[in-house]
Amino acid sequence: MKRYFKLIIPAAIFCILMSFRYKTHTGSEQPSGLAYYHFYHIKDSTQTGKVYSEDFILGFTTNKSIYSSQTKLKQDSTMEAALHAAEVKKSASVDLGVVLPVTEEDIYVDKGKLFTVKTTYSQSYLIAGEGDKIDWKIDRETKSILGYTCQKATGVCKGRKYTAWFTTDIPASFGPWKLQGLPGLILEAYDDRYFIKFTCTKFIAQSNFSQLKSISIPANATPTTKKEYEKMKKAQAEGFLAGGFSDNITIDKITTEGGNNTPQAKKFTINYPLELTD
């Protein structure tokens, strides 16, 4: 559901929000290739007509990669522009427009090992060692994707069986999300029910990627575990709901697309999560 936000923000919180801007890691290793992916996910198996979608970018070199939400990058840029405009006008009211749900985490692969970086309130947290090595079974079947000859492979990742199509024409053992370890770039992947799918829409090589995010893991990221991170997030959410920010920020207007006459929707339940195992 799309939501429209208009926030009333005092100067102190305004300055904090401005510090949340997306910034690239300067002086770090930049990718030598980029793959753009469209992701869709049916999260509620009882409502297959409701499909969550998001766009991602995979940047990589020969032995490193980073997988980030392109939708988030665009949304952050729009929010930054709105915040900057309010700052110039010395206004405490910021209309953020349509705010979409996005993936906050970045997924890194460094020499075959997978890392997840999650950022909360401008602090980055590093969760290492996520994901077991995928035992891929490579098939002889082939098909063409984006003009590349791709070969079929199947394997289990995070509790779900996936079919992946990879091309040795791009000799990079990476792919979307946590799918990796094949002798070529994965251009398409989907689970056995087609409720989860990653599709490469564009590939770019040998270009100037200096303005993009570095593929190096942020040096200032605080090491933690998934369990400890979720515990911290829960505590932060409870603090917010308890009114921890009530004196600093007020929501002036929230309207949902469709207005007040939108009929009561069927309760949405996530019964088909992306990950079944830790």
Q: What's the mean per-residue pLDDT of the chain?
A: 81
pLDDT reported for residue 243: 56
Q: Where are the domains of the chain?
A: 3-259
Give the whole-angstrom CA distance, residue 226 versus residue 204: 33
Q: Are 251 and 5 in contact (CB under 8 A)?
A: yes
Give the residue with greater pLDDT, 41 vs 211. 41
Residue 180 has pLDDT above 60, yes or no: yes
Give the whole-angstrom CA distance, residue 224 versus residue 247: 31
Percent of the chain past pLDDT 90, that is, above it, reads: 51
Q: Are 149 and 142 in contact (CB under 8 A)?
A: yes
Question: Hey, which bits of the chain come out as E strands?
Answer: 3-8, 33-41, 52-60, 64-69, 93-99, 106-110, 113-120, 123-128, 137-145, 148-157, 160-167, 185-191, 196-205, 222-224, 250-256
Neighbours of 222 (CB within 10 A): 11
Give the residue with greater pLDDT, 70 vs 256. 70
Give the whole-angstrom CA distance, residue 245 versus residue 163: 46
Residue 224 — pLDDT band, cuts 50, 70, 90?
very high
Residue 148 — pLDDT band, cuts 50, 70, 90?
very high
The first and second tokens of residue 130, run together, are 């996520």
